[in-house]
Structure 1
Amino acid sequence: MDTKKSDKFLSTLEAAQKGDADAQFALGLMYEDGKGTEQNYVAAYKYYKLAADQGNFNAQYKLGIMYYDGKGIEQNYIKSIEYFQLAANQNDSDAQFNLGVMYGNGKGTEQNYVAAYKYYKLAADQGNIDAQVNLGLLYAYGNGVEQNYEKAAEYYAAAAAKGDAIAQYNLGLLYENGDGVEKNYAKAFECYAAAAKQGDAIAQYNLGDLYYFG
């Protein structure tokens, strides 16, 4: 074990044992990642829980993930939602996004696209790329909100500008079909090309179609 990392672990442990919530979270992270100590999900859970109980939103988010994945604790989607909710209440955009996913997929709760929209919107307003993509999908399919291709294009464009391949592909689709935007094969080509460059197979296929059909 690296001595420097070991010293950091020991000093973090000392602070955590004195009740410092930030140190408890940091120690949980070290246990989860196996940095400065052996990887131990049960110990990670222990220290995340101590920090979360003091209101540390990062620890609350991590507990939501651990309950979702069943790492260090038995998988429990209801508890996952509980901790994501606590972190979301403190404006953590990742927790808000994950809540949206769970409501959208009906995990740990009844499927509720309106609630999914609510949390995606909160996260998207903070610049969360994944939430912007999923908001675009909700608007495109009319799930939890009235179908609106213009709004779908708006959210896809926001995420696509940050390099998200799914958003780039879906925006290309809107341009190719003229849904919510003026039909524009050049822009469709540009969007598909950006997504294809990142390995999006469907974008690569659509790009081939545009090449073939001109």
Structure 2
Amino acid sequence: MQILDNRSLRFVVFFSFLPLVLLVFSVLSFNDNDINFIEMTSSPVIYDVSGDSSYLSDFIKSKGVGSVFNLAQEGDPYAVYARGVLKFGNISSEVSRNLASAIEDVESSWRLGVVDAGYKLFELYFDGVGVDKNYELALYYLKSSAEFGYLKSQRYLGVAYSGLAGHGLVQENAERAKYWFERAATNGDKLSTKNLAILYYDGAADERDKNMSFEIALSVESKPYGDDMVGLDTLAFFYEKGIGTDINVVQAYKYYDLLSPGSAPDKARLEEKMTPEQIREAIRLSRQWQEEHNIFVPSYYGLEYQEDGSFQ
């Protein structure tokens, strides 16, 4: 099974050990190079707790570009960050591209305690946008923001340690991947929870690991952040194969039905093992799930995928 990446409410984190944190974040050098990172001089604050960048877009939309710039001028930390992102020139036609000023704002917002800015700085140094590529600095900002609890950074580290992203950033390490996926799952991330279940399944040494994998997969739906469809394929597979649970073709068919039309071959395979009553019950459960989540797939309306790509 494959671990996936997801690159496509304010929460203030107060630390009783803030003086120690600030000491750690003093300007240091890595190895023999004059590579410096930015000192965070204020209490760390996470604004986008969901890790999907919605907070930033909602903030800019609700305030308006002019107000964002005014608030930044007045010293609002998150407005400084938003202004910096706007200056990259790919969000609003009202703001011209100015890389040097954009990076300066993002760095300033990190200094002012905006943890979200750490992920942006990681991207800049990893991709070399407006700065020289520097994997050490990129990893520093990624790990620092992750340690502060930034979900998106935690998720990315899990994927990076799985060897599926950030090539050259870290060495593949299943235990470190598991650690970061667990951190992100605890913070409510559906995708990281699914990936954690897959790690347990791939590394299953006995039935306890398989049971754990199933329990984690089952918990994806209760996590608040991410697409509601995440993890349905994992549950379908586990129920069909009896991984960590008894084989349950009705539940497996239900989840495959929710993944229509791409799951048509899976449904056809299961139908050969099911009675008409079981199929009807699975469809009933699928429709119930769709109504509860206000998400509807073609099968809900009795439509079936045709060879010409249409539904009838």
Q: TM-score, normalised by structure 1?
A: 0.80
Q: CA deviation at 1:26?
A: 1.9
The size of the alignment, in residue pairs, is 202
Identify the structure with bigger relative contact order (alpha carbons < 8 Å, sequence gap 6+): 2
1:14 to 73, 94, 97: 73
Give the counterpart of 2:102 among 44, 49, 54.
44
Provide the C-alpha distance between the structure 2 equivalents of 1:87 and 1:98, rounded to a whole number of angstroms.
Answer: 11
Distance 1:6 1:135 in 2: 39
1:23 maps to which of 79, 82, 89: 79
Cα distance, 1:150–1:93 mapped onto 2, change above 3 Å? same
User: Please, which runs of 5 or more residues in structure 2 have no aligned partner?
Assistant: 1-62, 275-312
Corresponding position of 2:117? 59
Larger Rg: 2
Q: What is the distance in 1 between the residues matched to 2:158 and 2:148?
A: 15
Counterpart for residue 254 of structure 2: 190
1:155 paired to 2:212: no
> Gaps spanning 5+ residues in structure 1: where?
none
Q: For 1:39 and 1:212, locate their aligned partners in 2 and report how far apart those are by CA, in whole Å.
A: 59
70-79 or 152-161: which moved more? 70-79
Residue pair 1:159, 1:167 contacting (<8 A) in 2 also: yes
> Does the alignment pair 1:34 with 2:91?
yes
SS in 2 for 1:196: coil
Deviation larger for 54-63 or 186-195: 54-63
Deviation at 1:208, TM superposition (A): 2.6
Identity over aligned residues, as a percent?
A: 24
Instruction: Give the partner amino acid of 2:271.
Output: Y
Measured after TM superposition, the shift of residue 121 of structure 1 is 0.5
Would you tell me which structure has more helix in proportion to its own residues? 1
* 1:121 aligned partner: 182
Give 1:68 shift: 3.7
Partner of 2:157: 99
Distance 1:192 1:47, change over 3 A: same
Residues 52-101 of structure 1, C-alpha deviations (whole Å, 9 max, x = no match):
23332011122123334443334444433211111112111221111111
Shift of 1:111: 0.9
Q: CA RMSD in A?
A: 2.7
**From 184, 209, 212, the counterpart of 2:269:** 209
Partner SS state of residue 110, structure 1: coil
Could you tell me the TM-score, scaled by structure 2's length?
Answer: 0.57
Give the 3-state SS of the residue equivalent to 2:119 in structure 1: helix
